[in-house]
Homo-oligomer: A and B are copies of this chain.
Amino acid sequence: MTDSAAWREEVKAVLRHEGKRSGGAREAVVDALAGHDCCVSAQEIADELRGGESRVGLASVYRALELLHGEGLVQRVDLGGGGYRYEPILPGGEHHHHVVCDRCGEVTAFEDPTLERAIERMERRLRRVVSAHDVVLHADCRRCAARA
């Protein structure tokens, strides 16, 4: 089973355990999230769902994302640009960070175990329960760098 399929199962299990009903919009949002490698915005999810046959309201997308975030199932990522992006917190525990191009908004992901360890050490030193962390690098993407 792929990580995203496992994640989808976990989401369903958690929501059922919480007594949440499984309406169409919420499942559609979960499926859309599971189908992406990296973070997506609420608007992108809504557009994707509206592209299909469903009639999902933007508000329902936000409500689903907020619920999933509250349950610790999705991470809300701030990349600048005045909006949020969301991505699944996969059960394997691996996660990545982001490089954003400030010119065109392109987002790419990277992983770095050394950086991860440094952050974990820092979190222990804080003596506070850290629920999540973000690292965002700002750099021109290759296309914008070439054009400049």
A37: Cβ under 8 A from any B Cβ: no
Question: Which residues does chain B contribute within 8 Å of A119, judged by CB atoms?
Answer: 115, 135, 137
Cβ 8 A contact of A110, one of B84, B99, B112, B122: B122
A2: Cβ under 8 A from any B Cβ: no
- Against B, the Cβ 8 Å flags (1 = close, 0 = not) of A110-146 are 1010110111011101101111111111111110010
Main secondary structure of the interface of A (DSSP, over half): mixed
- Against B, the Cβ 8 Å flags (1 = close, 0 = not) of A95-120 are 00001001000000010101101110
- A102 CB, nearest partner CB in chain B, Å: 7
Q: Which of A11-19, A27-35, A72-80, A86-94 forms part of the interface with chain B? A: A72-80
Q: Which chain A residues numbered 55 to 80 have a C-beta less than 8 Å away from chain B?
A: 76, 78-80
Inter-subunit contact B137/A130 (CB<8 Å): yes
The CA of A37 and the CA of B51, in the complex, are separated in Å by 47
- A107 CB, nearest partner CB in chain B, Å: 13
Inter-subunit contact B129/A145 (CB<8 Å): yes
Most chain B beta-carbon contacts within 10 A, residue among A121, A137, A145: A137
What are 8 residue pairs bridging A and B, where the CB atoms are less than 8 Å apart in the complex? A78-B136, A114-B122, A117-B118, A118-B118, A119-B137, A128-B145, A129-B140, A129-B145
Sample of 10 more A-B contacts, CB < 8 Å, known A129-B140, A131-B138: A78-B78, A110-B122, A110-B126, A112-B125, A115-B118, A115-B119, A118-B118, A128-B145, A131-B139, A136-B136
